[in-house]
Amino acid sequence: MRAELRGKRDALLSRIGIRPVVMGILNVTPDSFSDGGLFQARDAAIARAQRMVAEGCDIVDIGGESTRPGADPVSDADELARIEPVVTGLADSIDVPLSVDTYKASIASRVVELGAILINDVWGLQKDPAMADAVAEAQAAVVIMHNRLAKDDAIDIVADIRRFFDRSLALAAKAGIPDERIILDPGVGFGKTARQNRDAVARIAELGDYARPILIGVSRKTFLGSLGGRVEGTLGGTLAANLAAAAGGAAIFRVHDVAEHVAALKVFHMIRHGDR
């Protein structure tokens, strides 16, 4: 990783825990569940990222393959073709760091060369056996997200999340990824029932003993509709869930609606912690 990227990486990591960190979502896909097709064109994607930066996001997370249930898999070549021009265009045109949402080692290695500082892996280093080594070699930070191949309403989802994290953290340690570069994500909306998604948010505090930052991604997700009427896809439902997550100890918030979350989380933080 280039020296200037290491500086961006370390500056971002140093802010986590001091105040809420907002990650803006930029999907350059035709089929993502909320904004698929809106930002496929390079210029549209760059304009969207610049707007999120102006609204106060701390990092932009770029995705080139939809991870919604039932989405078609994308080849490495096609994923990189979607991502590369956007990462390249943003690396030198915005001040905030870039993250890439991928579970593929080859993509991870390439996007760090292009200017990303964080890999957001929805399979927590467990899908691609080369991913942990790729992240370590690239000196990137990493989000380890919990995921499941299928839903199972009978399990205690937090216990399952802990077992998954333990396996992922063992892979990270073996590869030599430093602890301070690891972020955990309970994976709301991935392989979970509506009740388990609720529990994953409500019980975030039970993950505190990992002593690593928790990222939460609830933005516009369907499970919100099971909690209080037709709020899936709405700003109000997403804000409420993110504030509940913040109360439980979440530190990073992956969202579509940046300005509103920056404002809401600032108020939350000031009420809970004052000026510090």
Q: Which of 143, 88, 71, 81 lies closest to 106, judged by CA?
A: 81
Contact 187/223 with Cβ under 8 angstroms? no
DSSP string, 45-79: HHHHHHHHHHTT-SEEEEESS--STTPPP--HHHH
Both tokens of residue 268? 């939350």
In this structure, how many other beta carbons lie within 10 angstroms of the beta carbon of residue 260?
A: 16
DSSP 3-state percent helix, strand, coil across the chain (nearest 5): 50, 15, 35
Q: Which of 81, 175, 160, 69 lies closest to 128, judged by CA?
A: 175
The DSSP bridge pattern shows strands 141-145 and 252-255 to be unpaired
Instruction: Tell me which of 19, 221, 230, 272 is the catalytic residue.
Output: 221
Order of strands, sheet of 98-101, starting from the edge strand that comes earlier in the sequence: 182-185, 141-145, 118-121, 98-101, 59-63, 21-27, 252-255, 215-216
Q: Tell me whether residue 212 is one of the annotated catalytic residues.
A: no
- 63-82 in b/e form (b: 16+ CB < 10 A) is bbbbbbeeeeebeeeebbeb
* C-alpha R_g of the chain: 17
Contact 83/46 with Cβ under 8 angstroms? no
Structure letter (DSSP) for residue 191 = S
Instruction: Tell me which of 203, 212, 254, 272 is the catalytic residue.
Output: 254
Q: Tell me whether residue 221 is one of the annotated catalytic residues.
A: yes
Name the residues annotated as catalytic.
221, 254
